[in-house]
Amino acid sequence: MLGVLDRIEDNKHAVILIEELNEELIIAKEKLPEGSNVHTYFNLVQGEDGKLTIHSINEKATQEAEQQTSDIMAKLRAKKTGSKFKKK
């Protein structure tokens, strides 16, 4: 199961979105794997108690999302032609 680090709240809690379950997982920021940043994807596992935990960073999904964002930004920059209003 995949989760993505959406945000860090109060510099204490990490909010991970799990689209498959349409849920949030909130954990202490210190429990994030080394190298985690906002928009990092994680492989999650469900324990016998039903709780989800981070197994590892999913490098492939993270890189694909970064590439997709980069491609969209490049397209937007290419379309930018400036303002249609003239300065006086």
What CATH number does the domain containing 10 carry? 2.40.50
Q: Is the pLDDT of residue 80 over 80?
A: no
Q: How many residues are listed for the chain in this entry? A: 88
Residue 58 placed within a domain: yes
CB distance 15 to 6 below 8 Å: yes
- C-alpha torsion angle, residues 61, 23, 11, 65 (rounded to 10): 20
Residue 74 placed within a domain: no
On whether the pTM is more than 0.85, the answer is no
Residue 7 placed within a domain: yes
Residue 21 placed within a domain: yes
How much is the mean pLDDT over the chain?
Answer: 91
- Where is pLDDT greater, at 87 or 21? 21
Q: In whole angstroms, give the CA distance from residue 73 to residue 69.
A: 6
Q: 60: domain range?
A: 2-64
> Which whole number is the average pLDDT over 16-33?
95
H-helix segments, 2-84: 59-79
> Which whole number is the average pLDDT over 1-25?
95
Q: How many domains does the chain have?
A: 1
